[in-house]
Amino acid sequence: LACIAPAQASAVQLNIAHRGASDARPEHTFAAYDHALTLGADYIEQDLQITSDGVLVVMHDETLTRTVRGPAENCTGRVDSKTLAQLKTCSAGDWGKFAGGAYVSEKIPTMEEVFQRYGKTVNYYIETKQPEPGENMEAKLLALLDKYDLRESAVTDWQVLIQSFDANSLKTIHAMDPRLPLVFLGSLNPTSIQAVREYGVGIGPSFGGVTKANVDLAHAACLNVHPYTVNTTADIQRMLELGVDGMFTNFADRLETLLGAK
């Protein structure tokens, strides 16, 4: 079986900034994405949620509790219970170790604003997060790819990779356009490899269970392996030695240093 995927053809190991440079900056803010790119990230990651008025926004959690601050009526509870206008009154950079600091003016970005900011200058690794029937998260995302002329470069150059823990979400996208590169988030084993090769270009497993045997098996099936979320230098080094094709990390700088030393 010949593998013609761009990443495998060039034999690179991709530096995927998990929620942006999410140790140094508040996750999923422009500050986090900008910083990740200065650190050498090949991809910036987006997790998608949807507002009550149907807009794709970039946030990891389904609720606003952990990373969002502001007026309680707008900035507490579930993301899908708020309009975009409500969410835009909130800060996405005033929590945890960032509280009161340099990033309190950061807002929750929409997916469209991310495309408007970076256009074709970066690569995107976008997760359909807990998609629910009737939300049409997948169709909304593909419409945005078309609006920002990213569909063809997603196909030819993997400028956009789409990931999900939900195989049905990926199969929905595959049915809409079988050329789009899709990555299933889940265990790396012979069963998952056989399943994902029907619609995807890769598997993103939690890094702890990754073995050389299963990386080799995935490669034999022309699937890439992108483990998450690999943060210590020792773990990053170990994943590189196992021959993975890239990894999600909160520390794009650490991965970039090790890739530069290879």
Interface contacts to ligand G3P, rule CB under 6 A: 18, 47, 60, 127, 163, 185, 204, 228-229, 248
Instruction: Give the integer Cα–Cα distance in Å for 212 and 242.
Output: 5
Q: Closest CB to ligand G3P among 20 and 93?
A: 20
Catalytic residue (choose from 18, 35, 174, 226): 18
The residue ranges of DSSP E strands in 55-133, in sequence order, are 56-58, 123-128
Compute the least distance from the CB of residue 129 to ligand G3P, in Å.
7
Q: Could you list the residues that contact Ca ion (CB under 5 A)?
A: 47, 127
Choose from Ca ion, ligand G3P, none: what does 42 bind? Cβ within 5-8 Å by kind.
none
Give me 234's structure tokens.
């020792």
User: Does residue 60 have an active-site annotation?
Assistant: yes
Catalytic residue (choose from 28, 60, 174, 226): 60
For 245, phi and psi rounded to 5 degrees? -95, 5
Compute the least distance from the CB of residue 47 to Ca ion, in Å.
5
Q: Closest CB to ligand G3P among 70 and 205?
A: 205
Give me 160's structure tokens.
């956009």
Compute the least distance from the CB of residue 26 to ligand G3P, in Å.
15
Residue whose Cβ sits closest to ligand G3P: 228
Instruction: Give the integer Cα–Cα distance in Å for 135 and 260.
Output: 42
Compute the least distance from the CB of residue 64 to Ca ion, in Å.
17
Nearest in space to 13 (alpha carbons), one of 45, 40, 48, 51: 40
CB under 8 Å to 77, separation ≥6 — which residues?
Answer: 63, 64
Half-sphere exposure of residue 70: CA atoms within 13 angstroms, side-chain side: 23
Q: Closest CB to ligand G3P among 86 and 130?
A: 130
Do 39 and 256 meet the contact criterion of CB atoms below 8 Å apart?
A: yes
User: Does residue 28 have an active-site annotation?
Assistant: no
Q: Closest CB to Ca ion among 126 and 150?
A: 126
As annotated, the active-site residues are: 18, 60
